[in-house]
């Protein structure tokens, strides 16, 4: 019965098998995304990507979505002469620009703390490397500040999402990417957990990129910034002149 | 309907942007000001980073000033010679301002300096304007009160390098308009404004230009100063969002037309008093932002340069 269901599941995921090497299946876990590219077009308001997969043996599934790392400066304000001023800063060399976790059951029930730390699962287990050594207490408060800000802007997930188990072998989860999703190459990590330990894992890349007119404007602004500046001015001059002419007649 | 702004890297509602453009355009048509001092804080409030707000707003002011100057040129209210001298100062000043901007940004003090500049200039100018317009109102009711002297001589008039400005009927040191231009250029780069709200009073009270000439001449030089800011910001910081500037502009031109039509129905003193109140309101909002304890003492800067 289980074997038949597994085969049906495998057929259901038909297209997947063409691309996934046999070695992965041997580990008892296979997963893929409904698409490997998120395009940020002019009307982009955020999007969902479907993650689906099959496991050979029963277990729980944890999904971690990581955006590309980026140097991030965290600044702290304090009151000077009645106004709030940035007075100190810590730079983290490798803060993920996006981070979210989803699981079929609360992660704390599935994995021991040591394992969560090792696989960097959960906001408390992110490895944020400060560029300069400092007092650990101070670093901890800046680290917490970074995570709080990222959660507030929606790029770090505070609450874990849901991974739905469909019978003993299939699972699916909807990964949400908000409108302000940072661009770059993401890694979607899928862990199969049983009896408190990770027995299998798979990583799938996902590319988030600007597309269409927006992408061209962005690239142009960064590659030919002088020409971009001149064109921006010309467009403004033309628009202003046009507005003047149109409304004179009205 | 959301629109993704490629440089600001956020999605904003198109109607919100058009509405902001229209509202600020209405006020700028009503009062004859550029409106940059209102738009930049509004953009920051809407979630655009200060860096992008300031640079893109400079780009929008270019367009707004062009349509204004066209109208004033037709009426012969532009002193091109004076505009040219102010402009020379303005170009150097705005170049210096963009340089200062990059340094402050790297230091993490840009937001503070932007806010402080707003508080200082909006507070001062708003208060002065309010006092002036209340006085003018009182004078109108009591015409026997003594009038202000038309032309007062101060130490400015002792400065060397005097030049004649025929259109403005002035014979003053060239250093004065150069200095004013330079100073307003710096403000333009840091605050993302055309600087009309500083330039216009300076031209009236410091240079003693005829009021009729002031707005057109100020707008004329603002075109070039904000174009310079746009160019330098695009090259140094890549923070000019054309999409944002164009959307605001579309709302702005329509709003400005309604505003200028509405302006004819109100007495000039009341207009100035209203503008003073708007200016003061923005100033107070900025003060609150500095004084009230932020919800999170920590903030992030992802794009910061090394």
CATH number at A170 reads: 2.60.40.1930
Region B176-188 average pLDDT: 90
My answer on whether A108 and A220 are in the same domain is: no
Position B189 in a domain:
yes
Predicted pLDDT at A20: 47
Which stretches does DSSP call E strand in chain B? 2-5, 10-13, 162-165, 170-173, 298-301
Residues of B in contact with A218 (CB under 8 A): 6-7
* B71-87 pLDDT per residue, tens: 778 878 788 888 899 99
Region B156-182 average pLDDT: 79
- Unique residue bearing structure tokens 């000439």: B213
User: Domains in chain A: how many in total?
Assistant: 2
Length of chain B: 306
Predicted pLDDT at B134: 83
CA distance A150 to A157: 8
Q: Which of B21, B101, B227 is nearest to A231 (CA)?
A: B227
My answer on whether A117 and A218 are in the same domain is: no
Position B149 in a domain:
no
- Structure confidence at residue A188 as a pLDDT band (50, 70, 90): very high
Nearest to A83 among B232, B238, B290 (CB): B290
Region B162-178 average pLDDT: 80
My answer on whether A243 and A128 are in the same domain is: no
Position B274 in a domain:
yes
pLDDT over 80 (residue A18)? no
- How far the first Cα of chain B sits from its last, in Å, is 37
Q: Which residue has the higher pLDDT, B243 or B272?
A: B243
Q: At what angle do helices B175-191 and B80-107 cross, to 10 degrees?
A: 40
- Unique residue bearing structure tokens 């003061």: B280
Residues of A in contact with B257 (CB under 8 A): 247, 250
My answer on whether A141 and A94 are in the same domain is: yes
Q: A60 CA to chain B: closest CA distance, Å?
A: 35
Predicted pLDDT at B197: 79
- Structure confidence at residue A249 as a pLDDT band (50, 70, 90): low
Position B127 in a domain:
yes
Show the tokens assigned to B10. 């956020």
Residues of A in contact with B11 (CB under 8 A): 44-46, 179-180
Can you count the helices (H) and strands (E) in chain A? 8, 12
CA distance A87 to A134: 16
Predicted pLDDT at B149: 52
pLDDT over 70 (residue A135)? yes
Position B264 in a domain:
yes
Residues of A in contact with B5 (CB under 8 A): 214
Region A75-100 average pLDDT: 91
pLDDT over 90 (residue B204)? no
Predicted pLDDT at B144: 60
Predicted pLDDT at B303: 52
Q: Which residue has the higher pLDDT, A144 or B8?
A: A144
Predicted pLDDT at B301: 74
Reported ipTM: the value is 0.82
My answer on whether A143 and A221 are in the same domain is: no
My answer on whether A29 and A122 are in the same domain is: yes
Range of the domain at A173: 2-209
Cβ contact (<8 Å) for A85 and B109? Answer: yes
My answer on whether A216 and A197 are in the same domain is: no
Predicted pLDDT at A15: 43
> For residue A85, what is the enclosing H or E element?
strand A83-96
My answer on whether A224 and A241 are in the same domain is: yes
Position B157 in a domain:
no
Predicted pLDDT at B68: 79
Phi, psi of A131 (to 5 degrees): -70, -30
Closest-approach residue (CA) in chain B for A247: B257
Average pLDDT value for chain B: 83
Average pLDDT value for chain A: 85
pLDDT over 80 (residue A235)? yes
CA distance A179 to B4: 8
* B132-147 pLDDT per residue, tens: 888 877 877 666 655 5
My answer on whether A166 and A179 are in the same domain is: yes
Query: Is the distance from CB of A33 to CB of A48 less than 8 angstroms?
Result: no
pLDDT over 50 (residue A99)? yes
- Structure confidence at residue B161 as a pLDDT band (50, 70, 90): confident
Q: Which of A3, A5, A29 is nearest to A16 (CA)?
A: A29
Show the tokens assigned to B260. 């200028």
- Structure confidence at residue A17 as a pLDDT band (50, 70, 90): very low
Region A174-193 average pLDDT: 92
- Structure confidence at residue B214 as a pLDDT band (50, 70, 90): confident
Cβ contact (<8 Å) for B242 and A235? Answer: yes
- Structure confidence at residue B155 as a pLDDT band (50, 70, 90): low
Predicted pLDDT at A22: 43
My answer on whether A21 and A89 are in the same domain is: yes
Position B174 in a domain:
no
- B102-124 burial: b if 16+ Cβ within 10 Å, else e: bebbeebebbbbbbbbbbebbbe
CA distance B93 to B249: 25
My answer on whether A123 and A243 are in the same domain is: no
Predicted pLDDT at B143: 60
* B4-35 pLDDT per residue, tens: 888 888 888 999 999 999 988 888 877 767 78
Q: A163 CA to chain B: closest CA distance, Å?
A: 28
pLDDT over 70 (residue A229)? yes
* B279-288 pLDDT per residue, tens: 888 888 888 8
Position B6 in a domain:
yes
My answer on whether A205 and A215 are in the same domain is: no
Predicted pLDDT at B90: 92
Predicted pLDDT at A205: 94
Nearest to B298 among A74, A221, A235 (CB): A74
Predicted pLDDT at A10: 47
Show the tokens assigned to A135. 């007092």
User: Domains in chain B: how many in total?
Assistant: 1
CA distance B37 to B222: 14
- Structure confidence at residue A223 as a pLDDT band (50, 70, 90): very high
pLDDT over 60 (residue A5)? no
């Amino acid at each position: 019965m289980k074997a038949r269901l597994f085969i049906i599941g495998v057929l259901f995921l038909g297209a997947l098998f063409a691309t996934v090497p046999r070695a992965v299946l041997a580990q008892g876990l296979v997963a893929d995304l409904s698409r490997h590219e998120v395009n940020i077009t002019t009307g982009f308001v955020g999007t969902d990507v479907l993650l689906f997969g099959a496991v050979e043996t029963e277990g729980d599934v944890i999904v971690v979505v990581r955006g590309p790392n980026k140097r991030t400066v965290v600044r702290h304000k304090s009151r000077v002469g009645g106004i709030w001023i940035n007075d100190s800063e810590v730079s983290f060399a490798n803060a993920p620009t996006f981070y979210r976790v989803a699981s079929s059951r609360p992660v704390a029930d599935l994995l021991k703390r040591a394992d969560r730390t090792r696989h960097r699962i959960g906001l408390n287990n992110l490895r944020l490397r400060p560029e300069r050594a400092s007092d650990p207490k101070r670093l901890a408060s800046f680290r917490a500040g970074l995570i709080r800000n990222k959660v507030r802007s929606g790029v770090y997930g505070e609450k874990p999402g849901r991974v739905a188990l469909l019978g003993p072998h299939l699972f699916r989860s909807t990964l949400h990417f908000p409108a302000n999703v940072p661009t770059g190459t993401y890694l979607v990590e899928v862990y199969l957990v049983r009896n408190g330990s990770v027995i299998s894992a798979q990583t799938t890349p996902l590319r988030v990129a600007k597309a269409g007119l927006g992408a061209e404007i962005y690239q142009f602004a960064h590659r030919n910034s002088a020409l971009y500046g001149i064109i921006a001015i010309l467009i403004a001059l033309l628009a202003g002149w046009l507005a003047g002419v149109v409304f004179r007649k009205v | 309907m959301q629109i993704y702004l490629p440089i600001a890297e956020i999605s904003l509602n198109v109607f919100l942007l058009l509405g902001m453009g229209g509202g600020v355009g209405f006020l700028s048509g009503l009062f004859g000001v550029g409106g940059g001092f209102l738009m930049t804080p509004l953009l920051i409030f809407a979630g655009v980073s200060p860096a992008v707000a300031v640079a893109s707003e400079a780009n929008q002011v270019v367009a707004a000033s062009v349509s204004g100057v066209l109208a004033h040129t037709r009426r012969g209210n532009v002193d091109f010679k004076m505009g040219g001298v102010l402009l020379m100062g303005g170009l150097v000043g705005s170049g210096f301002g963009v340089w200062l901007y990059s340094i402050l940004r790297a230091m993490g003090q840009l937001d503070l300096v932007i806010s402080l500049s707003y508080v200082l200039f909006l507070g001062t100018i708003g208060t002065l304007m309010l006092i002036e317009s209340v006085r003018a109102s009182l004078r109108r009711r009591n015409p026997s009160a003594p009038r202000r002297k038309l032309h007062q001589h101060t130490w400015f008039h002792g400065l060397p390098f005097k030049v004649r400005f025929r259109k403005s009927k002035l014979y003053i040191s060239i250093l004065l308009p150069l200095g004013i231009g330079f100073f307003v250029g710096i403000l333009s780069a840091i605050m993302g404004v055309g600087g009309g709200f500083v330039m216009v009073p300076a031209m009236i009270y410091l240079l003693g230009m005829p009021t009729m000439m002031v707005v057109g001449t100020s707008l004329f030089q603002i075109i070039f100063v904000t174009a310079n800011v746009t160019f330098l910001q695009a090259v140094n910081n890549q923070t000019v969002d054309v999409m944002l500037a164009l959307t605001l502009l579309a709302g702005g031109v329509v709003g400005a037309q309604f505003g200028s039509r509405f302006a004819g129905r109100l007495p000039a003193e009341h207009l100035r008093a209203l503008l003073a109140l708007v200016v003061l309101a923005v100033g107070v909002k900025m003060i609150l932002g500095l004084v009230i304890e932020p919800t999170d003492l920590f903030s992030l800067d992802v794009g910061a340069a090394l």
